[in-house]
Amino acid sequence: MQYRILRGKSALAGRLPATQLLHDKALTSMLRHYQSVVLKPRDGRYGRNIVFVTRTGGNTYRMQNERNVVTLNSLHPLLKWLLRKKNKGRRYIVQRRLQLAQIGHRPFDIRIMAQRKKGSSSPWRVTGSYAKVAAQGYLVTNVARRTIPVLEALQAAHIGNRDLLAEAERIALMAAKRLGERYPKLRQVGFDIGIDKRRRIWIIEGNYRPDLRPFRLLKDTSMYHTIMRYKKH
C-alpha cells in the first residue's frame, strides 16, 4: 500500500526501487530484469527473515539470509520455502536490490525522521537522522555494526556532503507529505533512505513506528530530544 501511495506522485516514482508482491512469476520476472533482488516479509521488523537472491549465471542463484549463504541450481527450493512461510500467514514482497554505498566494504543507509505536530495542517519537519552501517557479513543495515552521524558516513564513503543530505531530507519530506495526505492522523515516519554508488537517492521504506533508541545513543542527543518534543505536541 505504501509503495502504491508514494508511486502515485511523479516526483517520487523514480525514487522507489521496483517492488511487487511475491509470487512465482514476480520473482522470475524480477530476476530477469535485475541480477539481484531482496525478499522482505510485509510485516517484517529489524531486518529479520530478509532474503537476498542473486543470479550468478545460467540457472544458478546465490541466496543469503543473515550470514547464511546457499547456492541453488533452481528457484524451486526457495519458492517451496516461501510457500511454507505464506501458509503460516507471512506474505513477502520482492524488490530490486540497491547497490548501496559502502563504508569499509559494509553497506549503509540513512534513517531520516519526519514528524509533524498535532493537526493535519501542521507542516512536516525533519527532526533527526543517522546512518546505519551493516555488521560484518550482513547485507541488511538493520543488523547494524554502528550508527553514526550522516555527514560522517557520507564523507567516509566518499560520496557526498551536506548538499546530498539536504536532498535526501527534501525527498523524505515530500514522501511524508504524500503519506500524510492519505493518512491525516499520521504524525511520524522513519524513512530508510538508500544512496547508491552513483549517488542516487532511494526511498527503501517508511516505518510508522520507528525505533528511537539509536537517536539516544548518538553522541549528540539533541535530535532525540527534538523527536520526543514533537511526539508530545
Point out the least confidently predicted range of 50-59, 143-152, 157-166, 205-214: 143-152
- Kindly state the average pLDDT of the residues 166-194: 96
CATH code, 104: 3.30.470.20
Residues 57 and 129 in one domain: no
Q: At what angle do helices 24-33 and 76-87 cross, to 10 degrees?
A: 140
Is the pLDDT reported for residue 123 higher than 90? Answer: yes
Classify residue 57 as left (phi > 0), alpha (psi -120 to 50) or beta. Answer: left
Q: Of 96, 126, 147, which residue sits at a domain end?
A: 96
* Domain ranges, residue 190: 4-12+100-232
Residues 203 and 115 in one domain: yes
Residues 8 and 22 in one domain: no
| Per-residue model confidence (pLDDT) at position 18 | 94
Residues 107 and 220 in one domain: yes
Q: Of 43, 64, 96, which residue sits at a domain end?
A: 96
Residues 38 and 84 in one domain: yes
Cell of 129: 537522522
Query: Which of 12, 10, 3 minimizes the C-alpha distance to 173?
Result: 12
pTM of the model: 0.88
Residues 8 and 120 in one domain: yes
Residues 224 and 117 in one domain: yes
Say if CB 188 and CB 208 are below 8 A apart. Answer: yes
Query: How many domains is the chain partitioned into structurally?
Result: 2
Greater model confidence, 182 or 119: 182
Greater model confidence, 45 or 231: 231
Residues 51 and 107 in one domain: no
Q: Of 81, 96, 111, which residue sits at a domain end?
A: 96
Residues 86 and 105 in one domain: no
Is the pLDDT reported for residue 64 higher than 60? Answer: yes
Residues 87 and 120 in one domain: no
Residues 73 and 8 in one domain: no
- Under DSSP, the state recorded for 196 is B
Write the pLDDT tens digit of every residue in 67-107. 788 888 888 887 777 777 665 656 888 999 999 999 988 88
Residues 114 and 76 in one domain: no
Is the pLDDT reported for residue 44 higher than 70? Answer: no
Pure H helices in the chain: 2-7, 10-13, 24-33, 76-87, 150-157, 162-182, 213-217, 222-232
- Cβ contacts of residue 176 below 8 Å, gap of 6+? 114, 116, 124, 189, 191, 206
Query: Which of 49, 46, 30 minimizes the C-alpha distance to 91?
Result: 49
Query: What is each CA distance from 20 to 27, 96, 104, 127, 206, in whole angstroms?
Result: 9, 9, 31, 31, 16
- Kindly state the average pLDDT of the residues 193-218: 93
